[in-house]
Amino acid sequence: MMEEQKESNSMKRIYIDKVILHIGVGQAGEKLEKAKRVLKEITDQEPSERKAKKTIRDFGIHRGEKIAVMVTLRKKKALEILQKVLAARGNTVPASSIDKYGNLAFGIKEHIDIPGIKYNPEIGIFGLDVIVNLARPGYRVERRKRCKSKVGKEQRVTKEEAIEFYRSIGVNLV
């Protein structure tokens, strides 16, 4: 009886809220620009730069220095890119990569493994992180600027529901 209610309730529908692609370079300069070009080539979207939060002398990182680039994708574009990056992993991801709120995070060792991306000797090879965020309708209430409110526990995506969702879109969880 409860399963029938879940299927008929449109507010319980799970969807991909966003897909984030992230390349951490660790230093500013030419290497960061090349990483930026890689993300632009993969997504056709302008990446944003991220700064270091604190100084780590052992790694030569200074607070406020640009050390990474990232792109956030939503809606249809997010689904297209997700299918491409999953194909680079053979549509297989460890189940341990899913957190208790249904978010999936995994890495790709070489960006040239993504279908449609060719090796460019000027740029080189970069690894990237992929983060997939799941949500339900109405979850924006917690994140909006005006009239923020809490979202109930029933509205959050659980790990079990996320596993079921990922399997329905063709992801093999090991």
37-55 pLDDT, tens digit each: 888 888 889 998 888 888 8
pLDDT of residue 1: 45
pLDDT of residue 132: 93
| pTM, entire model | 0.83
CATH number of 10-173: 3.30.1440.10
Helices (H), 10-158: 30-43, 75-88, 140-143
For residues 120, 121, 124 and 129, what is the CA-based torsion angle, rounded to 10 degrees? 10
- Crossing angle (nearest 10°) for helices 75-88 and 30-43: 110
Give the pLDDT confidence of 101-134 residue by residue, as tens digits.
889 999 988 888 888 888 888 888 888 899 999 9
Q: Exposed, middle or buried by CB within 10 Å (0-12, 13-18, 19+), for 32?
A: buried
